[in-house]
Structure 1
């Protein structure tokens, strides 16, 4: 059943066409994820569909009630209701004093409470902890029709059955969830690469053939001087006929070259060659350590006798509920709190989203180069890997979108003298393509990284260690989030099984020794032996 349609829709910002679609239909049961680069027009499309923004041309027809969870909302919310408690929001909270995560929960709960037939949601998982995202997944799965923007690939995979990609103002439609869309895109890129290589190979072959034929034509012998007139005429005629055929062949080959279907060259992924030795990195195995670590905020105890170690070159994700102290921990490390020992050669670079490290009046390249210890060529490659190409490096930072500014901040960090990076929610407000680019960069980065993120896919891709913040303590785990969750579901780990087997085998040895004694109860010992043997077999 059709519940919304947009016909001949167009939206401009100045001379730039942001959205253009002839026919967009949303039917009951559709769970649509919208993807596209930063600034592609994702939020603009939701604003138009909700009625918050008018299109320049076209018609929107809505056949149902609509709720809209906005990315940034300062509206006061009525906090009465069951949903607020399910999201862990105090119903007496002052909206103006609420944290980013609390405001997000208030907005989500308020819109879900409307029980509308169509739900529009712009980055609903931003600033939410894992428990809240789990509740959100459950609630969204019960909503019949959703149009959703999210940088959380796991969230999109769980919920979406269709994907709309916005590219150069146009809408492209894909069936399936985000992973299926990504596979289709990857196959398309592979096909494009193969077709381009075949096109170049055929073009080179034909061009070589053209040169060979032209060379033959030019090397045709002229009529010898000693040849008689009649013989010379015959020779000249034969030569001219052969030259004519060769010239005709050249024209034919050139025509084939012109008729070759030109294939677009796929973007080449540049390899970044950062000279990490310029950061004078520490050689210690452990570069940061703390024990009996305590911290209070007002009267709230955040850490109590906590301890942790940071290993050189490792990528550690800091995870935990909202309010567990994730950002606080990064701040204390950055401020070099006296309870935390950091080796002298560790140089900390801290990323957060207030852009205080950027000069909005200078260009992208100038901003990065001012603190860079790498060459300009390396800096340009870093920016290109973060999807800031060509003339874009000459733009003033002040005109960039939020996502683009974030990428400039990353480039400044990667090119700086820092060899220990602290990243607080690095994927917030980045598009999917930029998140993947950041993942690829961090995986080959030679330094040490501690990061806070609620993006499961990002953590699983980048992290090789976890700090789990819970009950004022820090638990360390070797592995990513997926491996941690699997370990929790396994009743006994391999080490415990090995210990238990050793204990049982020792008991068997003891029973055998006792059975050799004259005054032993052999029947009872035999039963005990069989019982333990069965336990061992089960293990």
Structure 2
């Protein structure tokens, strides 16, 4: 059969297995998306489906939910299936509120198989705890597509991992999988480095033999013309043997080099001179700010200030007003203030801003203020490698479009990043790349993120919205502390590039930089 498609339902079957997937192949537009050997799951399993954006996790879920019939291979499903897709914010509900409503409705139907696609995206801490506890007690078969490390660690009992266009089953927890993966990568890197050291040693030895062969061919300096002529054939034969042994060494070195170097995306750091200069002590502030939405009071007399170089996390329950506060800042609400020198890069998850008929590289080239090489390095760190450059934006998966939208903001001419849920739907390598990028970012960041691990890595300070009050807790997230150093160093760099040096100002700035360095250890 040219198109072997099997989708079978078993009722009253004696086996506990509810899902059996064998030799499944899925293509899109004639290009392979993924393959499987054998994936199994049964009642009581909580399967985490993990992999990079665009690798086919949602597509596999659609196949299991009988919503995608175009594949080859076997997919046998026993029992009723309910799939809850990724939920975007709507006019009257946040993304978190919409997801909670859909999850509760699905649970009430008591399906044999429940598929959740990024269910923790947009959920506040309280509802993340509710979701975790609820899924831990789900009695059926759960398939969980997620990049949420905390949720996967707490819930998943086995994993289906897609990498290099192939699904593999891992019977263990997500934490055990990550540890095994890290050990495998470390062993692979060690083997690669050992092989290349040995290869280099053999290549040096081979080079020494080639040099010896050349000396033999030339003969010693003390040889007479007659002796040189009479020994030519012997010298050539001896040199030939040495050359052959050198070639054998090189061939042996090449045969021994079999380990592929693990992929390690190069981190790219911006410096202060990459960003528009900042002037003033505070970049963002608000005084006695009152915010309402839909007749509901969200904030009552909120006052705060954000200094240049800070990375401030905005925390609060779903519907507490975090996005509304960001909007107030962006629209220059009368009770807020943005410094005149602020150049804002704003990320939100309305992907309609991306032109779907342009290529990925065209979108990045139009946004970036960096040179092409550094732009490519940043894209590579987030997983948008060269194979994506010529793809149309409209052909990207939802997660890939989120990633591209975020990257166009990160490389723009901004010194203030306002990021509303930038971690939603990003794969794990991109999450790590984003955290590293923001920690090293020389500008200012104000962000909302419900990923607790990410917040703790990035934030130097946290503002909380609780019961209409904006609070600045004494105990904040443990990020790299923000200081005046980026601004002071930028001013120093600018003075050094001025046509005429102002020695007195330079002296004052050097003193301020030294004081800031002492203050921050």
Q: Deviations over 1:189-226 (max 9, x none)?
A: 22222222222222222122222212222322568544
User: TM-score, length-normalised on structure 1?
Assistant: 0.78
**Structure 1's 2 and 481: CA in aligned 2 closer, same or farther, altered over 3 A?**
farther
CA separation in 1, counterparts of 2:274 and 2:307? 20
Distance 1:412 1:345 in 2: 21
> Residues 79-478 of structure 1: matches in 2 within 5 Å?
98-144=93-139, 145-220=141-216, 224-226=224-226, 232=230, 239=235, 242-243=238-239, 245-355=241-351, 357-478=353-474
Q: CA RMSD in A?
A: 2.8
Match of 2:74 among 59, 70, 95: 59
State whether residues 10 and 55 of structure 1, in contact with CA within 8 Å, keep that contact through their aligned partners in structure 2.
no
Partner residue of 1:77?
Answer: none
SS at match of 1:461: helix
Structure 2 residue aligned with 1:15: 30
Shift of 1:386: 2.2
How far is the alpha carbon of 1:155 from its aligned partner?
0.9
**Contact kept in structure 2, 1:35 and 1:42, CA below 8 Å:** yes
Q: How much does 1:157 deviate? A: 0.9
Moved more, 327-336 or 471-480: 471-480
Q: Hey, what's the Cα distance between the residues in 2 that align with 1:306 and 1:117?
A: 48
Asked if 2 retains the 8 angstrom alpha-carbon contact of 1:358 and 1:409, the reply is: yes
Unaligned runs of 5+ in 2: 1-15, 480-521
> If the length of structure 2 is used for normalisation, what is the TM-score?
0.80
Q: Is the 8 A contact 2:285 2:304 kept in 1?
A: yes
Match of 1:43 in 2: 58
1:387 and 1:33 map into 2 onto residues whose CA distance is 21
Could you say if the C-alpha distance between residues 97 and 316 of structure 1 is closer, same or farther in structure 2, counting changes exceeding 3 Å?
closer
Q: CA deviation at 1:369?
A: 3.5
1:31 aligns with 2:46: yes
- Which structure has the bigger radius of gyration? 1
- Per-residue CA deviations over 1:375-394 (Å, capped at 9, x if unaligned) read 33332222222222225234
CA distance in 1, matches of 2:434, 2:242: 55
Listed as ranges, the gaps of 5+ residues in structure 1 are 75-94, 484-539
How far apart, in 1, do the equivalents of 2:76 and 2:82 lie? Answer: 15
Partners of 1:277 and 1:73 in 2: CA distance: 37
Distance of aligned partners of 1:443 and 1:98 in 2 relative to their CA distance in 1, 3 Å threshold:
closer
* Cα offset, 1:238, TM superposition: 5.7
> What is the CA–CA distance in structure 2 between the aligned matches of 1:228 and 1:11, rounded to whole Å?
71
> Secondary structure at the residue paired with 2:414?
coil
User: What per-residue deviation string (whole Å, max 9, x for no partner) do you get for residues 268-324 of structure 1?
Assistant: 432424343343332544322223211222321111112222232111111111111
Cα distance in 2, alignment partners of residues 11 and 197 from structure 1:
36
In structure 2, what is the equivalent of residue 4 of structure 1? 19
